[in-house]
């Protein structure tokens, strides 16, 4: 509701006359406390925000390898009145062929460069740090979705994640998941698959990820992600092990979704909620945070589960 109010207010702000400011010098490209992140995984779908109203023949490349452009959102689709005059949102796929660095297993940090070319004019490159995985669980606001607003809610929680029941309907507070049910999380950035899929092409059949991903379940209300962590001191097979390594919860399937470019899904079983779990209602926007973690990254989805009866 608060988000809807935000969008309404932003729409009201789009009237001409309030955004006029001479010149496009010194454009602000972001605010915060860190430089824009540049970690990407092979095959990752991501939106690049390019200064200016970029039109015409648009291509992208990562260190000389073509990065297919999947969509171009002109400035008129931007939710921000003044930024609309200066930013084009270009969704592309990072080539599967880039070489992820081996951090933290080794100290070699590979670098790559992304260039966007419009009508033959190349942008200055930005440097990327390829990693094996850069998990991002899709939300309803994301720009890589055709109807995503690209605007964050004001409460600090992420937008509603794209987590569905087996029939494809969204898991929501009105349609919560149940313990033992199989759900599907949609994501990008899970990296290479076996078999390999060519950059820019959709998987024809299920293509599992090369990497094994782990899960974490947190029934605290409105929690962000937890990095799935192995709490142990030695393998379970080791004799006299004081704290044997447990097996972290694993997905039933983690891999590409057939028919889509760069879209992954993680299928998993919802664990039974502990006694006392609060139902989603009012300020409790989620009562189970499912986190998906790989070698280099993790992300979480706050969903609603029906408390145990």
Task: Show contacts with another protein in window 208-227 (CB under 8 A).
Answer: 218, 220-227
- Following CA atoms 103, 106, 109, 112 in sequence, which dihedral angle do they give, to the nearest 10 degrees? -70
Say how many residues make up the chain: 309
Residue 80 interacts with another protein (CB under 8 A): yes or no: yes
**Which position among 19, 71, 210, 250 is part of the footprint of another protein (CB under 8 A)?**
19
Binding to another protein (CB under 8 A) within 20-39 occurs at: 21-39
- β-pairing, 126-130 vs 39-40, is parallel
Our CB check for another protein shows the closer of 117 and 250 to be 117
We find the least distance from the C-beta atom of residue 195 to another protein, in angstroms, to be 27
Residue 107 interacts with another protein (CB under 8 A): yes or no: no
Surface-to-core class of residue 164, CB atoms within 10 Å of its CB (0-12 exposed, 13-18 middle, 19+ buried): middle
DSSP-derived 3-state class of residue 212:
coil
Residue 68 interacts with another protein (CB under 8 A): yes or no: no
Our CB check for another protein shows the closer of 90 and 177 to be 90
SS (H, E, C) 112-141: EEEEEEECCEECCCEEEEECCCCCEECECC
**Which position among 2, 56, 168, 247 is part of the footprint of another protein (CB under 8 A)?**
2
Do 56 and 118 meet the contact criterion of CB atoms below 8 Å apart? yes
We find the least distance from the C-beta atom of residue 118 to another protein, in angstroms, to be 5
Do 189 and 134 meet the contact criterion of CB atoms below 8 Å apart? yes
Residue 277 interacts with another protein (CB under 8 A): yes or no: no
Binding to another protein (CB under 8 A) within 121-180 occurs at: 121-127, 129, 131, 135-136, 138-139, 141-144, 148, 150-152, 154-157
We find the least distance from the C-beta atom of residue 156 to another protein, in angstroms, to be 4
């Amino acid at each position: 509701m608060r988000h809807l109010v935000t969008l309404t207010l932003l729409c009201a702000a789009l009237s001409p006359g309030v955004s006029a400011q001479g010149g496009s010098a010194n454009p602000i490209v972001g605010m915060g406390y860190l430089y824009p992140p540049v970690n990407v995984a092979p095959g990752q779908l991501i939106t690049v925000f390019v200064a200016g109203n970029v039109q015409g023949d648009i291509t992208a490349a990562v260190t000389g390898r073509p990065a297919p452009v999947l969509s171009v959102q002109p400035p008129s689709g931007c939710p921000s009145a003044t930024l609309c005059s200066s930013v084009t949102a270009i969704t592309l796929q990072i080539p599967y062929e880039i070489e992820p660095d081996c951090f933290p297993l080794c100290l070699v940090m590979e670098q790559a460069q992304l260039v966007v070319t419009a009508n033959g004019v190349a942008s200055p490159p930005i440097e990327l740090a390829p990693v094996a995985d850069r998990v991002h669980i899709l939300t309803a606001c994301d720009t890589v979705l055709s109807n995503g607003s690209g605007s964050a809610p004001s409460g600090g929680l992420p937008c509603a994640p794209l987590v569905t029941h087996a029939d494809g309907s969204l898991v929501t507070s009105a349609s919560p998941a149940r313990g033992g049910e199989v759900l599907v999380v949609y994501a990008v950035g899970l990296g290479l698959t076996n078999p390999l899929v060519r950059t820019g092409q959709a998987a024809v059949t299920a293509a599992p990820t090369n990497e094994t991903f782990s899960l974490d379940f947190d029934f605290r209300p409105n929690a962000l992600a937890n990095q799935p962590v192995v709490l142990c001191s030695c393998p379970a097979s080791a004799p006299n092990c004081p704290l044997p390594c447990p097996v972290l919860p694993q997905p039933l399937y983690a891999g590409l979704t057939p028919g889509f470019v760069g879209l992954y899904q993680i299928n998993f079983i919802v664990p039974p909620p502990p006694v006392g779990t609060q139902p989603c209602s009012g300020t409790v926007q989620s009562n189970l945070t499912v986190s998906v973690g790989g070698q280099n990254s993790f992300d979480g989805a706050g969903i609603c589960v029906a408390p145990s009866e």
